Structure 1
Amino acid sequence: MQMVKYHLQRVADCAPTGWKAAIAEHLAGAITKEGQQPNIPEWVQAWDKLQQIADFDAAYGDAARLNLSDYEICTWAKQLAAQVDEFMDGCELARFSLAERGQALTMMLRTTGALTIEDLVGLFKFKDGDTPQDKDRKVDAAIKRSSDDSWWRRKLRRLVARVVEAGAIRLGMVNMAKGRYISHGGLVRRQAQIKRNTEALQRSLYRNEAGQVYTLAELAALSTANPLVRGGELMTRIRGAEEYADSHGHVGLFITLTLPSKFHPVTIRAGKTRHNKKYKGATPRDGQEWLRDTWAKARAKLARLGVKIYGLRVAEPHHDGTPHWHALLWTESQADAITLEATLHHYWLAEDGQERGAQDNRVCIKHMDRGGAAGYVAKYIAKSVGHVALTDHQDLVNGDQIKMEFGEETSQGHQRVDAWAACWGIRQFQTIGMPSVTAWRELRRVSKDQLDLFNQEGDLQTMSAYRACHRQGNLRADWRVFMEAMGGHALKRHEWHLRTVTTMVEEGQVNRYGEAVEVGRIVGLTPQRGRMCGRWLVSRRIAWMPVANESSTHAAHAFKTKTENPNAAGQAQSASMAPVRQALPAAWTGFNNCTARLTHGLRKALFGREDDEESDWNDPDGQVMPKRHQRVKVSPFLQLIEADERRAA
């Protein structure tokens, strides 16, 4: 029994600080009192207890080993990157081929215990049909990645967070009686990450072409990275989808989808939490993948039956961290709604559908009244992004609504939901069958003067979409009108009216790991059909560059108008940097509004057209022209040379 005490103390000492009480409770029977079992020899009792401790160590040993601070994670990342670099140098000296180096790297990375099988597969990115040259390039990129400590930091932070949090869940430290949604350690880890990110954003300065300098924190506050902005945008889309559905007479359903019992580590009986005997150690990530895969099967079946659906789904945690979904969906008819219900019940009850409560609670569907959709989903959006009007959190357990008590942490409910989603990589909000929100956001950035030509050419859909994205006096932005202008609902990607366009990728352009860049950055939109097909609406006309060696206090608020502060041009400059320019006045030419520098129109004007261009075989309506009608393309320089030759002759 002395060995039992020794190993029990060893396990407790290696475990995270917050686990001490949970370990004592979990292994409470590891040491028995003398004389409690007089008929069983002491060595038999000791053997049983040692086996119990060994099982616990096997289940939670990784969590204890990986209970690292962020400083320790960064140090480990540097060590791993240096070891990979040294190992690859040795392979190169041994004259290994790239394929052999890739195999050696795989064997080495497996011994580190820092990467999962999915990480290794994602590192090399091999695909069926890759040529030997493609595989060599991917191996070279994998070597560069695994020699980069910043890449290791990202992987290790995710590994540590998930392994330690999984151990806390299995120990019963995440439930309504203790840490709700996520353990206390997981919440602290997420708050430290947010603090690091905030400090990094405040230190990072970017200058635009007009000479204005902003911190990334100021720019992020204006984007959907701001929870208030993100929540407002989500409610605008839900309200617009509801108005669209009501105008078309569609049927609305509010659906709650939960997981089988084996995914829940804790059950509630008579208001008390108990360990679930059916629980096999699944993580919230495993539960999310089950929901996602089952939903994919249901959607495929609905597509085969011709049922069109659209709406929004929200991923939310139960009190014990197990995910469940709320979905706000519309169908075109009552018959389609009945088909949707039957399909969801079929797939969600296909696994463990006969267990107690599955028929009643696995799938819960409510038919919505007209005009009530936003109210159904508003509290779930507020619960996930945070809202001052939301004072309590509700959880659905066995069909009953249970109020979550946070005590002094009342204001931290949405922070715990955010920490839960960040830890397990769960996408909280996803729209279904609605136009891309990226097109909505980019269209809001387009300047009004670019629409003049679209108005003259009678492109009413683009004009309507543009007006829907912007406030018009007292009229707010209208997602319903935007959906109508984009073509409606439940369309394929190539069927929406507007799509995003990206800059042309230069030949030979690679990223920091030597991989070819295949897609440029988004710079605007273009209609996919009609007379204006191919015409760009530029949404990002100002280039931004990082500013080095300047103080983080040199932010946008330091820039005032020339009348307010005549010396504004020099306020954001460092002694070692050139003076920062004031914001440039409005250009007297239309160059800033043209797409020449983005579509390489100037290059075409100077060096001629290429052999194959879309406009050569498309008429103004976007229809393909017969080859005999395609224009012959001659470079302007060739034309000059031919003219000189004719004059000489």
Structure 2
Amino acid sequence: MQSKQILLPDAQRHEAFLRSAQFAPELARIPFKWRNRVITAAMAKMAWSSWYKIYESIATSFVREFAEQYVPAGVDLSQSDADIVATAERAAAGVTKMLWMAVSDTHALQIMEDECTAYGIELPEFDALADTIARLVDARWWRRQLRKRVKRAFEAGNIRLGYVNYRGEPYASNDAVLSRLAQNRRNAAALAATLVQNENGQQFSIAELAEKTTANKAIRRGELMLRINGFEQIARECGDQGIFITWTCPSRFHAMQHSGKPNDKFDGSTPREANAYLGKMTSLCRSALARRGIGLYGFRIAEPHHDGCPHWHLLLFVRPTAKYKTAHLQDVAGRAIRIMKRYAWRVDRGEPGAFARRLDVKRIDWAKGSAAGYIAKYVAKNIDGVAEHKTKEGYVVTADTEGDVELTPSARVESWAACWGIRQFQQWGGAPVTVWRELRRIEESMLNEAPAAMRRAWDAVQKIDGEKRACWAEYLRAQGGALVPRKELVVTLAKDEKTVIGRYGETLRTTPYGVRCSDLIGVVFKSVRHTWTPVQATGGRGVAVGVAVPRTRVNNCTHPDRPAPATPPAAPAPDLPAEAKTALIAAWAAVNACPYPRLIVPDNPPHKGNGT
């Protein structure tokens, strides 16, 4: 009797195919963390089909498209930082070996472009071929590019598969946070182990010097709040109107909904692309405001939604300028808000919730309190944390642990910004902070015959503990106000341009060495700057980065001196055209990539009569 054929349900057949040995090669490139969710997403695509010829092709196409978008070719996303360093060494060595075979500049450029493509990295563009070669043969350049490429690709996949949300890993994935914390530890060890000495004989570690700059989170937060308070003082004095705005991206930039469910409208955009969209829209908006004679100044802060998509908080003060075109409209803030809404709703205007969520506006009422209070929470939350860390949606984010490592909300935000290269804080309008910092380097003895404006600006930036605080508002008054154009600044930087020999050849370096005052043309008030040189650390075991560890325990210093090995004879040069040989040697000599220009031939060069 013929046995009865039993068909499994479609879902079971789909999953059996996805987990079969036949389909395993398609999943080989996918990191192990992602595979279950990739299989789940593929099964959702296959659900409508019950014929194996159709659902198998659907699954194969989906997985290949996903891998092409989120898994760079030639790069293993699950590799550790040590593996990335080894990959960088191999890539640099491979480029070096292949460039010896180049016969022209075009051929060399094609070799480097193919090698970058193999690792999913863009070829750097420079006017001189030697500048490109200098980077492609340097393992440190490859290390930086690979770290950035692997981190962003892995994080983009985590966002696409729904790992990053307030119910799982808010703001940034645990992988990104752990990688950033490990990087910070490596950097801290390197800075602490590197000693430098100035011309006065004073020695410090670079870590000690960094603690005195805005790299110190406490100093960074204090300076930001000082500048925000200064803007508020100017706004109160001038009667400017204040507004606090939250600018959000369209739905297609969000991987997750407010409820924590996947967003069907998500198009795969990364947080970096979403931040670029916000930058473009606000740039167009500011240009439109300037054309209508509306001046604005203040601060903007970028921070992530729970799914990693950025949004901007803007604390702005507006006033009509001499070019204000609608004098009959006294509500300048209302006019500015209408223009901002026009650009906030410009893209995907008709989607549900666009008018309600794209632009949230709050007018600042001076009678109710300080304008800085609107933004102080966001400054602290994005630098060193607050007691209660809430997302824009109102969810409370608490600290998490991964092994013995605590993952705080502020560490997640900092990792998010570092991973995607997003600038968190930006000043709009006002005088530049670089001049403020340079004025602090100028000694009082330099101001004996300084103009009154120069003396006023210098006094404003000075701080004496327990006696006097620096005042950003007074600094703005000395510079010409909060809306002063750059070309009308009273105090500007004095810069020195010189050509220096860097890691990749000659480069033009611009260094400030003081300030100039428009009231005293031709005079530079020089700042105090030290020349720091590295010194050899003594006592204890130093920590170095990029130094190879000995392969054996043998102390070679105790062995008797041995004669140096004889230099092997140079291999005969291949028979290349004269212009090709000259161009190749010149390119290598320009970057000092080898001890002397030479050409390498294969280990077994052909000989007459050997049939090769």
Give the TM-score taking structure 1 as reference length.
0.74
Residue 470 of structure 1 is matched in structure 2 by 462
**Match for 1:239 among 225, 229, 242?**
229
Within a 5 Å distance, the mapping from 1:110-125 to structure 2 comes to 110-116=116-122, 120=123, 123-125=124-126
Residue 372 of structure 1 is matched in structure 2 by 370
Partner Cα distance (1:101, 1:551) in 2? 51
Contact 1:162 1:424 in 2 (8 A): yes
Residue 514 of structure 2 is matched in structure 1 by 524
Tell me which amino acid in the other structure corresponds to 2:119.
Answer: G
Partner Cα distance (2:540, 2:229) in 1? 40
Structure 1 residues 355 and 470, CA gap change in structure 2 (3 angstroms) = same
Contact 2:165 2:307 in 1 (8 A): yes
Within a 5 Å distance, the mapping from 1:96-495 to structure 2 comes to 96=104, 98=105, 100=106, 103-116=109-122, 120=123, 123-125=124-126, 135=127, 138-269=128-259, 273-333=260-320, 335-370=331-366, 371-387=369-385, 390-397=386-393, 401-406=394-399, 412-454=408-450, 459-472=451-464, 474-495=467-488
Partner Cα distance (1:109, 1:40) in 2? 43
Contact 2:71 2:153 in 1 (8 A): no
Partner Cα distance (1:470, 1:344) in 2? 38
Structure 1 residues 451 and 264, CA gap change in structure 2 (3 angstroms) = same
Contact 1:18 1:185 in 2 (8 A): no
Residue 65 of structure 1 is matched in structure 2 by 76
Tell me which amino acid in the other structure corresponds to 1:512.
Answer: R
Q: Secondary structure at the match of 1:385?
A: coil
Residue 566 of structure 2 is matched in structure 1 by none
Partner Cα distance (1:323, 1:477) in 2? 33
Q: Secondary structure at the match of 1:535?
A: strand
Partner Cα distance (1:298, 1:358) in 2? 17
Structure 1 residues 377 and 89, CA gap change in structure 2 (3 angstroms) = same
Between 353-362 and 487-496, report the one with greater CA deviation.
487-496
Partner Cα distance (1:111, 1:284) in 2? 23
Q: Secondary structure at the match of 1:222?
A: coil
Contact 1:311 1:432 in 2 (8 A): yes
Contact 1:393 1:404 in 2 (8 A): yes
Contact 2:193 2:205 in 1 (8 A): yes
Contact 2:398 2:408 in 1 (8 A): no
Q: Which runs of 5+ in 2 are unaligned?
A: 1-12, 321-329, 544-612
Instruction: Note the alpha carbon deviations across 1:245-275, whole angstroms, 9 max, x for none.
Output: 1111111110110000000010024xxx111
Q: Secondary structure at the match of 1:501?
A: strand
Partner Cα distance (1:553, 1:493) in 2? 50
Structure 1 residues 40 and 85, CA gap change in structure 2 (3 angstroms) = closer
Partner Cα distance (1:50, 1:411) in 2? 37
Between 293-302 and 533-542, report the one with greater CA deviation.
533-542
Q: Secondary structure at the match of 2:317?
A: strand
Q: Please report how far the alpha carbon of residue 321 of structure 1 lies from its aligned counterpart in structure 2 after TM superposition.
A: 0.2
Q: Secondary structure at the match of 1:144?
A: helix
Q: Percent identity?
A: 33
Within a 5 Å distance, the mapping from 1:588-627 to structure 2 comes to none
Partner Cα distance (2:83, 2:235) in 1? 53
Structure 1 residues 274 and 470, CA gap change in structure 2 (3 angstroms) = same
Q: Which runs of 5+ in 1 are unaligned?
A: 126-134, 556-649
Partner Cα distance (2:540, 2:473) in 1? 42
Structure 1 residues 59 and 474, CA gap change in structure 2 (3 angstroms) = same
Partner Cα distance (1:162, 1:55) in 2? 18
Partner Cα distance (2:77, 2:390) in 1? 33
Q: Please report how far the alpha carbon of residue 42 of structure 1 lies from its aligned counterpart in structure 2 after TM superposition.
A: 5.2
Residue 83 of structure 1 is matched in structure 2 by 94
Structure 1 residues 302 and 44, CA gap change in structure 2 (3 angstroms) = closer
Partner Cα distance (2:230, 2:22) in 1? 61
**After TM superposition, which residue ranges in structure 1, 4 or more long, deviate above 6 angstroms?**
552-555
Give the TM-score taking structure 2 as reference length.
0.78
Residue 506 of structure 2 is matched in structure 1 by 515
Structure 1 residues 55 and 411, CA gap change in structure 2 (3 angstroms) = closer
Contact 1:214 1:554 in 2 (8 A): no
Instruction: Note the alpha carbon deviations across 1:168-195, whole angstroms, 9 max, x for none.
Output: 0000000011010011111111111111
Contact 1:215 1:552 in 2 (8 A): no
Structure 1 residues 59 and 552, CA gap change in structure 2 (3 angstroms) = same
Partner Cα distance (2:87, 2:168) in 1? 32
Residue 571 of structure 1 is matched in structure 2 by none
Partner Cα distance (2:22, 2:535) in 1? 55
Instruction: Note the alpha carbon deviations across 1:197-252, whole angstroms, 9 max, x for none.
Output: 11111121110111111111111111101111101100000011101111111111
Residue 600 of structure 2 is matched in structure 1 by none
Q: Please report how far the alpha carbon of residue 30 of structure 1 lies from its aligned counterpart in structure 2 after TM superposition.
A: 8.8
Partner Cα distance (2:141, 2:524) in 1? 36
Tell me which amino acid in the other structure corresponds to 1:247.
Answer: E
Residue 21 of structure 2 is matched in structure 1 by 6
Matched pairs, number:
512
**Match for 2:528 among 529, 532, 540?**
540
Structure 1 residues 231 and 7, CA gap change in structure 2 (3 angstroms) = farther
Partner Cα distance (1:192, 1:442) in 2? 33
Partner Cα distance (2:30, 2:171) in 1? 21
Residue 85 of structure 2 is matched in structure 1 by 74
Structure 1 residues 40 and 71, CA gap change in structure 2 (3 angstroms) = closer
Q: Secondary structure at the match of 2:101?
A: helix
Residue 37 of structure 2 is matched in structure 1 by 22
Structure 1 residues 31 and 338, CA gap change in structure 2 (3 angstroms) = closer
Contact 1:254 1:376 in 2 (8 A): yes
Tell me which amino acid in the other structure corresponds to 2:493.
Answer: T
Tell me which amino acid in the other structure corresponds to 1:6.
Answer: A
Instruction: Note the alpha carbon deviations across 1:265-288, whole angstroms, 9 max, x for none.
Output: 10024xxx1111111100001100
